[in-house]
Amino acid sequence: MNKLFFKILGLIFLTTLLSCQKELHKYEGKPAIYFNEAGRLTAFGGEVLRDSTVMSFSLAKAQDSIVNMVITTTGAKQDIDRPYKLVINANSDAVVENHYEILNKSFFIKKNQLSDTVKIKFFRKVDMQAKTFLLSFDLLENENFSTEMKYRVLAATKKKNSLINYRWYINDIIKKPGRWLDGYFGIFTRKKLLLMAEVLGIEPAYLDASVSIPETIAYGKFMQRYLNEQRAAGNIIYEENGSEMVMGSAVQ
């Protein structure tokens, strides 16, 4: 009977020990770090997460723009600041202090937090009108975080999103706004679009998706009247090809 008792006791002890080892095993290793935009939960059904962003100045009046890039980690919060390693990928051709500036002085997950926000300031430069520049970031392993979570496979497309590399494509390549009507605005040019934004006090992007037909007619008439007044004052406004700037045939 005593032998049976000690066998049962030993079995209970062994089971408890194995159970503790399994529980401890869950917390072995370093937490993983990743780019939040590529690995976060979707906000709505059908949303497509990306591991890159196009940063275009084409329909903006601003000369620079500050964007946020969120870095997230798995695991539990800690009561200390934890530095992580963020570097510029060698494939980048955007030039620091010319095309962009990273506003953070250091990179770390603050105590009692699971994420950090990297602030990037992009500058609008003339060379962006002809070329898209790449700014690519890599997260690297260090003493606090691993990069074992490398990819996320999107269920809908089976595409692999990188969790440890994020790319920004920066340009100022102008595009014709979606609601630009030639009959009222005439032939589309970059110079005309920027002049309209200045004279009318609107963002160029407003003409892409928001402007109504009555507004389009009013804007066309107002701009043609403005051009006529400038001509009468001896200040003819020319397009970049040397032709006189005019609005559409419907507002002549």
pLDDT in tens, 95-136: 999 999 999 999 999 999 999 999 999 999 999 999 999 999
Q: What is the pLDDT of residue 28?
A: 57
DSSP code at position 58: T
- Higher pLDDT: 7 or 203? It is 203
Above 70 in pLDDT, residue 9?
no
Residues 37, 15 share a domain: no
Tell me the C-alpha distance between 111 and 193, whole Å. 48
Show which of 171, 205, 239 is a domain's final residue: 171
Show which of 171, 204, 235 is a domain's final residue: 171
% of the chain at pLDDT higher than 70: 88
| Element of type H or E holding 87 | strand 85-88
Q: Where are the alpha helices (DSSP H) in 100-211?
A: 182-185, 190-200, 206-209
Residues 40, 153 share a domain: yes
How many structural domains does the chain have?
A: 3
Show which of 171, 193, 224 is a domain's final residue: 171
- Name the pLDDT band for 226 (thresholds 50, 70, 90): very high
Mean pLDDT within 133-150? 96
Q: Could you tell me the residue range of the domain that residue 16 belongs to?
A: 1-30
211 CB-near residues (< 8 Å, 6+ apart)? 179, 219
Burial class (CB in 10 A: 0-12, 13-18, 19+), 8: exposed
Tell me the C-alpha distance between 117 and 136, whole Å. 16
Residues 97, 10 share a domain: no
Compute CA distances 143 → 24, 33, 147, whole Å: 20, 12, 11
Q: What is the pLDDT of residue 156?
A: 67
Q: Is residue 176 part of a domain?
A: no
CATH number of 157's domain: 2.60.40.1740
Mean pLDDT within 166-182? 94
Tell me the C-alpha distance between 226 and 195, whole Å. 11
What the block records as the tokens of 118 is 């990297």
Residues 121, 166 share a domain: yes
Tell me the C-alpha distance between 121 and 62, whole Å. 12
Residues 161, 40 share a domain: yes
